[in-house]
Amino acid sequence: MGGSGSAAAEAEFGPVMSLQRMVSIPSPTGGEGELADYLVGTARRLGLAAWRDEVGNFVAERTPGGTTRSAAGAGSPTVLLLGHMDTVPGMLPVRLRDGVLHGRGAVDAKGPLAAMIWAAAKHSNRTARVRVVGAVGEEGDSPGARHLLAEDRPDAVVIGEPSGVGNVVLGYKGVIWFKLEITRPARHSSRPEPKAVEVAVEFAHDVRAYVTAHAAGDRMFDRPIATVTELTGTSTGARVVLGCRTPIGFDSKAFRTWLRDRAGDDELTVIEEVPAVLSSRTDPMVAALSQAVGRFVGRPTAKVKLGTSDMNVVGPVWSVPIAAYGPGDSRLDHTDEERIEVAEFLTSIDVLSHALDLVSETLARRHAAVRPC
């Protein structure tokens, strides 16, 4: 690994044992504290500086001049490896059998986060500061990632989400979550006036019609998709919650205006909104990850995702090289079958470590080119 301290730590407990312990620690959204403390200890044993920040994020760092939180890496580019600690609720039995680790969070997203920590320790190119963050609340409204927006902007970012060891994720669709709450006077069911629950159904139908009318492109990634996630009501009161997955270029402002006009006097609330994000295949972070995949796995595949991640939160604000990568099959996210192959997890550490070497060299050359004489 990255020196005698990390080599001794690897021999003592190793990445697989560490990941198994991470999966064994419950960390539903809002309950990440125990896992954060464990990760701080793990990172320090690997020779990294580590701490918890003001909102509870786990942070670990290696600077070109050392591991302390000092000015040792001042003037050096920073590569941020951003994963998350929280999982959906509900623990699953944790077991390691036949090279497969089962348990809540094995895929989403403790496997990717563990790979980032061990890759940062293994990283050999000291031309860049490498920072690993295990954010809180990604399965909620991402307070951990949003907190990072107030800090110094990194020079490149990897988002730790399950892509599969041979794949690099270029982007995610955006989303607008909103609800409509409806009240109507009590009337006999024989009266022709629309009842509250009928209004809710018609609203949902019209939203889906609007989205369909504004769809463009053949790929699912390029088309907006509206989904009803909650519909309850009676003749006097109703509530409908919808999520609209939005593509690059979707006119969210016009959509919100239409929603408010369509809602009329009923109470419309936008619960959450993040834009779609998409990197190019020539993006330096995408290129570094793709080259590393090619070295350790085989020909890389570029993917886009229909869901969202913290890439949607930080990507549009920072506008730096960014991609998502991590071991695991994302189809197992949030399911009772969540599991990760140990061999894939270990390979992903090599991929990430090599990608760090490559992107560090690229960023260092850029910094040298713009540095005043």
Written as six digits, the tokens of 114 are 């563990």
Residues 136, 143 contacting (CB under 8 angstroms): yes
Q: Is 362's pLDDT higher than 60?
A: yes
Cα 14 from chain centroid (whole Å): 25
Whether residue 243 is found in the same domain as residue 284: no
Whether residue 192 is found in the same domain as residue 159: no
Domain end (from 226, 249, 274)? 274
Query: For residue 152, what are the domain limits?
Result: 4-172+277-370
Count of structural domains, the chain: 2
| Integer Cα distance of 361 and 230 in angstroms | 49
pLDDT score recorded for residue 74: 55
Whether residue 45 is found in the same domain as residue 68: yes
What's the whole-number average pLDDT of the chain? 92
Percentage, residues of the chain above pLDDT 90: 84
Domain end (from 252, 274, 296)? 274
With both helix axes pointing from N to C terminus, report the angle between 111-122 and 342-370 in degrees, rounded to the nearest 10.
50
Q: What angle do CA 39, 91, 32 make, to 5 degrees?
A: 35
Told to judge if 86 belongs to the known catalytic residues of this protein, a careful annotator would answer: yes
Which of 10, 32, 108, 138 does the annotation list as catalytic? 138
Q: What is the CATH number of the domain that holds 218?
A: 3.30.70.360
Domain end (from 224, 254, 274)? 274
Cα 180 from chain centroid (whole Å): 28
Which of 86, 108, 350, 357 does the annotation list as catalytic? 86
Percentage, residues of the chain above pLDDT 70: 92
pLDDT score recorded for residue 12: 55
| Integer Cα distance of 59 and 351 in angstroms | 21
Whether residue 314 is found in the same domain as residue 168: yes
Written as six digits, the tokens of 291 are 């080259």
Q: What is the CATH number of the domain that holds 342?
A: 3.40.630.10
Q: Is 138's pLDDT higher than 70?
A: yes
| Integer Cα distance of 167 and 302 in angstroms | 6
Told to judge if 53 belongs to the known catalytic residues of this protein, a careful annotator would answer: no
| Integer Cα distance of 339 and 337 in angstroms | 6
pLDDT score recorded for residue 11: 47
- pLDDT tens, 182-226? 999 987 777 788 999 999 999 999 999 999 998 887 889 999 999
For 270, 283, 325, the CA distances from 70, given in Å and listed in that order, are 42, 30, 29
